[in-house]
């Protein structure tokens, strides 16, 4: 066997013909590349995993106002009637009616709201950014979308399992990027799966990661 530690066994070795086994290997690899290339189009039509979103130009302030109006209208109240918020930054917990619009205007370095969704219902998420590119990644499911200032990316989301999901930014957005974590609740009021008021959900089976 030849290694780079030994002298070159034959001058102009790169001019030699390609061996049969190598030709077979290159053909297999190249064919597979082509198969995978065209299969990417197939995934758009097969399965439900691909989001074909729409996006629209918006103004950054206009979009942020929409989110503020939504929070004013749909922020949940806790047992004592105070607006429900979590964490040291008092992130509002917001539940819009099924079919409603959920606006998320991300910014450095926090997710501005904690959405509450009913399982099996479809919501229209509007995703954008107030400063720079952020990534919308919902864990533990594989969902990665890009949030760009000045664009409203529309995502139709129908959660199929209750629980507490994690929201992380997957686009490096500055020194505090790693702090940009949030959450999303999926509840099932009809079957008694509701917020426990302590950062989790209670009742029934909990499908999402805690
Ligand atoms: Cu980030």
**Mean pLDDT within 80-98:** 90
Could you tell me the distance, in angstroms and rounded to a whole number, from the CA of residue 144 to the centre of ligand 1?
Answer: 12
Give the Å distance between the CA of 82 and the centre of ligand 1: 30
Q: How far is the CA of 137 from the centre of ligand 1 (A)?
A: 10
Record the pTM. Answer: 0.77
* Ligand 1 geometric centre to CA of 51 (Å): 21
Structure tokens at 15: 């001019």
pLDDT at 10 over 90: no
Q: Are 148 and 128 in contact (CB under 8 A)?
A: yes
Q: Which of 44-48, 68-72, 142-146, 159-163 has the lowest mean pLDDT?
A: 44-48
Split at pLDDT 50, 70, 90, the class of 49 is low
Please give the distance, rounded to the nearest whole angstrom, from the Cα atom of residue 119 to the centre of ligand 1: 28
Whether the CB-CB separation of 172 and 104 falls below 8 Å is answered with: no
pLDDT band at 199 (very low <50, low <70, confident <90, very high): confident
Cβ atoms of 163 and 201 closer than 8 Å = yes
Q: What is the whole-number distance in angstroms between the Cα of residue 77 and the centre of ligand 1?
A: 29
The β-bridge relationship of strands 123-129 and 194-195 is unpaired
Mean pLDDT over 7-24 rounds to: 84
Q: For residue 61, how far is its CA from the centre of ligand 1 (angstroms)? A: 20
Q: What does the domain layout of the chain look like in residue ranges?
A: 13-46, 54-202
Q: Supply the pLDDT for residue 206.
A: 56
What values do phi and psi take at 151, rounded to 5?
-125, 140
CA 127–ligand 1 middle distance (angstroms): 14
Cα 89 to middle of ligand 1, angstroms:
17
**According to the model, what pLDDT value does residue 209 have?**
47
Taking the centre of ligand 1 as the mean of its atom positions, its distance from the CA of residue 167, in whole angstroms, is 11
Superfamily of structural domain 54-202: Cupredoxins -  blue copper proteins (2.60.40.420)
Measured in angstroms, how far is the CA atom of residue 152 from the centroid of ligand 1? 18
CA 131 to chain centre: 18
Q: Which residues pair with 138 in a beta bridge?
A: 167
Distance 165 CA to ligand 1 centre (A): 17
pLDDT at 38: 92
Q: What is the mean pLDDT of the chain?
A: 88
What's the 135 CA to ligand 1 centre distance in angstroms?
Answer: 6
Q: How many angstroms does the Cα of residue 168 sit away from the middle of ligand 1? A: 8
């Amino acid at each position: 066997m030849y290694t780079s530690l030994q002298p070159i066994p034959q001058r102009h070795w790169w001019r030699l013909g390609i061996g049969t086994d190598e030709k077979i290997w290159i053909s297999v690899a190249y064919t597979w590349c082509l198969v995978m290339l065209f299969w990417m189009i197939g995934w758009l039509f097969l399965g439900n995993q691909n989001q074909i979103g729409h996006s629209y130009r918006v103004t950054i302030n206009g979009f942020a106002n929409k989110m503020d109006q939504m929070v004013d209208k749909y922020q949940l109240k806790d047992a004592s009637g105070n607006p429900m918020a979590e964490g040291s930054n008092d992130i509002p917990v917001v539940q819009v009616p099924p079919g409603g619009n959920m606006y998320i205007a991300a910014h450095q370095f926090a997710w501005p709201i904690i959405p509450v969704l009913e399982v099996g219902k479809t919501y229209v998420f509007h995703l954008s950014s107030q400063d720079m590119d952020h990534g919308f990644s919902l864990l533990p499911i594989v969902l990665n979308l890009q949030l760009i200032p000045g664009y409203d990316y529309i995502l139709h989301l129908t959660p199929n399992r209750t629980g507490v999901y994690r929201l992380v930014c997957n686009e490096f957005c500055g020194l505090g990027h790693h702090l940009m974590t949030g959450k999303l609740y999926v509840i099932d009021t009809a079957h008694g799966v509701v917020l426990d008021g302590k950062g989790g959900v209670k009742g029934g089976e909990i499908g999402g990661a805690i």
